[in-house]
Amino acid sequence: MVAAWISGELFPGRRTDRRSEPPVPRWPVSQQFSRRRTVMPIVTVQQGPRTVELKRDLVRRITDAFVDAYQIPAEAVQVWIHETPADSWGTAGRLTADGK
């Protein structure tokens, strides 16, 4: 049944292969951030725990970079910080909490 659905045999003439659809159109930056349509960039930072002062500075710098690059208001930029404890991630097969 699945093979029939994929091949289009269940609904002849109905397009079931989504891979051949054209890509979603991209608008020029000047149109994306117009007064009528504002696309909010969301920046996600994944890191180990840091102080509030360091995170505050990071958010300010990321926001400034997007404002400068895209010519958008600072209110349109969202920065999400996901902190992961050292015992919950690893590199090269070892937990970061275990050290070098």
42-91: pLDDT as tens digits: 999 999 999 999 999 999 999 999 999 999 999 999 999 999 999 998 99
Q: Does the domain spanning 27-90 belong to CATH 3.30.429.10?
A: yes
Token reading at 59: 């958010």
6-17: pLDDT as tens digits: 445 555 555 555
pTM higher than the cut 0.85: no
- Alpha carbons 95 and 84: distance in angstroms, whole number: 12
Residue spans per domain, the chain: 27-90
Token reading at 36: 């009528």
